[in-house]
Structure 1
Amino acid sequence: MSFTGSVMVFLGTVVAISVTGVMMPGPVTAATIAKGCRSKWAGIHIALGHAVVEFPTIALVALGFSAVLQDRWVGAGIGLLGGAVLVFMGASMVLSRGGVVGRLRGARAAGSGGAAGSGGGGRGAGRAPAGPDPFPYHPFVAGILTTASNPYYFIWWATLGAALTLNALELGLPVLVVFAALHWSTDLGWDAFLSYAVHSSRAFWNDRTFIAVFAFCGGVMVLFGIWFASTGVMTLLRG
């Protein structure tokens, strides 16, 4: 097979693996859904935050640091710290979900008043809740936090991601750059689609739907956080 053919096959494999990976539910997905309630562009910002962690990770793996990520003590530390961060963020979201209703009704009332004055038909129901956000992190920051606190993100890059990175290096530095950009573009595409879909569907949501969405997203983060932290504890206990 020619060099060009080898590169195209490799990049096709990267797309297939990356797409299946980004569509798996996890902390980043939960954050994208939660922030998508407020902004249809949230997914783009979350993907940019994800890139802040991911591109340096790829560079470190290319330089041979994947063995560090495979160390059990490093993995345990990431699991404990990351799990604690996710539990805190998720619990905060769940505990503050009740305030969504009052803020949502206020936004609807304001929207109805504005519509009455302009003939807009009172489409305030499609607006995001006003006031403090139950998930009080900018989407860019949320992308960084949910990525960096996920130990399975690092496990992926220490194993399958490392294999792809080394294959890209064998094909040349330009291919490594294309690989990194292509892999991240699948994150960008999925996160952007998800937040846009969530934001566009808000017109059909009622009070309970908003509460359920925030409770679900927060619950997902808490469960993943407990899972990650317990895995770290078990690793430490095994010595």
Structure 2
Amino acid sequence: MIAIFLQSVLIGYSGAMMPGPMFTYTVDRSIRHGVKTGLIVSLGHSLLDLILVIIIFLGAGKYLSTDMARAIIGLVGGVVLEFLGFGMIKDVYLNKISLDTKDSKSGKQGNMFLAGAVLSASNPYFIIWWSAVGLALIMNAYYTLGIMGIGVFYIGHILADISWFTFVAALVSKTRRLINIKVYKVIIVVLAVCLIAFGVSFFASSIRYISQFFQFQAPLLLLGGTIRSV
């Protein structure tokens, strides 16, 4: 049990600490809303993790790893990231951002929770990881301890995510006091450009998967037409 837990924590950190859309979003919102951002965003991410653990264990992993599934997820993810990125630039341009967090509304917290799930779901690499590495880890935990093993694996995995993103949010929220509004706007624009770049990479991956799908399907369609003509 301890081995499964430690393995899930270490592998969880290896994924959580890699820069990506969720990390970029967490940094942005931490400057605005403080340390609570890391917890809220990672809880939204953890909810999606739980859903994926369940559906992958039930046998859906092979469908999520297909080229067409990756292409669809990448296209949706690209749209989400472009929307967030250009929205951040728009806020800077219209001067709608502030370092004053006293007037932050509770509704923003709900949005951050949803964003944690949406940013994860729209990331094709997240789905690919769960369909490949995650599936192997889930089944290994199940073969070792049954359903309890899956529970231990999941708890270790989400603890890695929650602790890392909470740490990032705490670090950013502490240093925001040293940032003036002009520097803050520059940071927001840089983060927005990063999100837009991630979105472009998602689109590029989707095009590649679509191309691979049709390259695979074309010979099958040609073969099917030949057989029918005979």
Question: Which of the five TM-score ranges fits, normalised by the shorter chain?
Answer: 0.7 to 0.9
Unaligned residue ranges in structure 1 (runs of 5+): 1-6, 105-125
Q: Which residue is 1:16 aligned to?
A: 10
TM value normalised by structure 2: 0.84
The count of aligned residue pairs is 209
Secondary structure (helix, strand or coil) at the match of 2:74 reads helix
Residue 160 of structure 1 aligns with an amino acid whose one-letter code is V
Say if 1:154 and 1:217 are closer, same or farther in 2 by CA, change over 3 A. same
Cα deviation digits, residues 196-231 of structure 1 (max 9, x gap) = 111111110012221122112211211111101111
TM value normalised by structure 1: 0.81
1:11 Cα deviation (Å)? 2.3
Unaligned residue ranges in structure 2 (runs of 5+): 215-230
Say if 1:131 and 1:182 are closer, same or farther in 2 by CA, change over 3 A. closer
Cα deviation digits, residues 128-174 of structure 1 (max 9, x gap) = 49689xx9982112212211111110000011111111111112111
Moved beyond 3 Å, runs of 4+: 126-132
Residue 57 of structure 2 aligns with an amino acid whose one-letter code is A
Q: Aligned to 1:36, which of 23, 26, 30?
A: 30
Q: Which residue is 1:168 aligned to?
A: 141
**Greater helix share, structure number:** 2
Q: Counterparts of 2:208 and 2:68 in 1: how far apart (Å)?
A: 11
Say if 1:184 and 1:197 are closer, same or farther in 2 by CA, change over 3 A. same
Say if 1:129 and 1:151 are closer, same or farther in 2 by CA, change over 3 A. farther
Q: Which residue is 1:195 aligned to?
A: 169
Q: Which residue is 2:116 aligned to?
A: 143
Q: Which residue is 2:220 aligned to?
A: none
Q: Counterparts of 2:89 and 2:190 in 1: how far apart (Å)?
A: 8
